[in-house]
Amino acid sequence: MPTIRNPILPGFNPDPAFCRVGDDYYIATSTFEWYPGVQIHHSRDLANWRLVGRPLNRRSQLDMRGNPDSCGVWAPALTYADGLFWLIYTDVKRRLGNFKDTHNYLVTAPSIEGPWSDPVYMNSSGFDPSLFHDEDGRKWFVNMVWDHRRRRSSFDGILLQEYSATEQRLVGPIKNIFKGSPLGLVEGPHLWKRNGWYYLTVAEGGTAYNHAVTMARSRTIDGPYELHPNAHLITSKDAPDAPLQRAGHGFYVETSTGEVFHTHLCSRPLPGTRRSPLGRETAIQRVVWNEDGWLYLAQGGQVPALEVEGPDLPPHPFPPEPDRYDFDDGELPSVFQWLRTPEPDRIFSTTARPGHLRLYGRESIGSWFEQALVARRQTSWIYSAETSVEFQPETYQQLAGLICYYDRARFHYLAVSTGDDGGRVLQVISCLGDHPDALMTYALESDLPLPASGPVHLGVDVRQAELQFRWSMDGVTWTPVGPVLDASILSDEAGPGAHGSFTGAFVGMAAHDMTGRALPADFDFFRYREKPSSTI
């Protein structure tokens, strides 16, 4: 049988919900403030995956303008029943301080490609919702509940309530069915049933280095639930040298061949650090049912493996993703996303200038409302990216260029703008995440003068924690610009607190116009190449 190498979804792809429909397997992952919402990947062999859609793609389903960094879509849950796909998700409007505003919704579709319905509101008592379809046809909704009082733990357990599909609302009593293990911070609940037992897996320990998949079971859906003999099915919390760290939050699936697997999120810190620019990624583990009726990792122990034995299924590879996009077909390639807004026509166009991606400069770098930034995930420790931009700024308040971005407090930006004399210049602007007001630094002692007109080629080379920008007028002869910068700041762990940030590094194109005149910048292509061996 083939070997699966983890992570199966590299780069920012956390909170994997796992769903099988016949011979097809789907994983839904969180997208936070990036639009459209929820990534769904498809596989037929569990080793090879391709992105098939982002279902939350219109204003009626999702509008994240004003959502702070690392808010938005948390922990989707994807299931299939009654001829429909059911997708549950949270839109988080606040995450800092005592309170969290977490609104939970349901959308459905007859096919994974859609059309996806307008949302049904569920509740707002906590995050990480999931829907379970019982054998008797009843449907049950679970989510963690948030206690703002913080008298003990803010993570106050897992709530259960019935969902009425005919009334399209939650009905009946609400019960707290599980308070978690002594590890604490219980979230990410998923239910399923086997041999008369209701099984519950949850995420615990917070999504940093104490993360874990915890397992429990009960003869009745509303409990009481008893803990797994080991409490945790999957965790790296006691294995600091394991290649897959922060392991937790996933779901169980049985294949068409009767084999069983469990997804989980993980991260791969840069060597010698606890910083993971690739964010929280998706991995998969082979698990087995023991005679005691509990799941265990097939390799034994609790630590996730980098390589696992795949299922007895025919290999099903997909064509590789192109390394260059020329924006010739009038559609934004699916590898790219933007931030927050359901009105993309206000920030970019693929048709205004054929063969180019036109960005309309909007609000400032890091705006939580309307920022023209189109980017793709960093999926390798080592990569190079290039683009070419035509941009004629009229004032220093207008910038456009190549950006390596995590959030408003962590980015490196190689930008075309104007100098004091009104001529075009090249700037290197960074925000290092170490100041509460997200103050910027400028890496060049003085701006680099550019020709008055014509396209400017911009490039970046990232080698683990080192980031070097470069530029060229012809795209052939390149010159480094600025010093080597710290790429590790583009990571969850570079932010405040152990659980303060939840996304990952992106690289892409940006345009900002603080004058309000929406000056356009035209990007001719975008190229991204990575070193395959850097995925270890």
Residues in contact with 502: Cβ distance below 8 Å, sequence separation at least 6, in sequence order: 14, 30, 32, 70, 74, 207, 279, 280, 492
- How far is 6 from 307, CA to CA, in rounded Å? 6
- How far is 127 from 407, CA to CA, in rounded Å? 22
Q: What share of the chain is helix, strand, coil (3-state, %, to 5)?
A: 0, 50, 50
Residue with tokens 């023209």: 372
Q: Which amino acid would we find at residue 408?
A: R
Q: Which residues are catalytic?
A: 15, 187
Pick the closest to residue 521 from 380, 432, 433, 417 (CA basis). Answer: 417
Residues in the chain: 536
Residue with tokens 């200038």: 353
Q: Which amino acid would we find at residue 300?
A: G
Angle at 437 between CA 435 and CA 443, to 5 degrees: 60
Question: Do residues 431 and 442 make contact, with C-beta atoms less than 8 angstroms apart?
Answer: no
Pick the closest to residue 290 from 330, 341, 230 (CA basis). Answer: 230
Token pair belonging to 229: 């003999």
| Helix, strand or coil, per DSSP, at residue 149 | coil
DSSP string covering 330-391, please? SS--TT-BEES-S-GGGTEESSSSTTSEEEE-BS-TT-SS--EEEEEE--SSEEEEEEEEE-
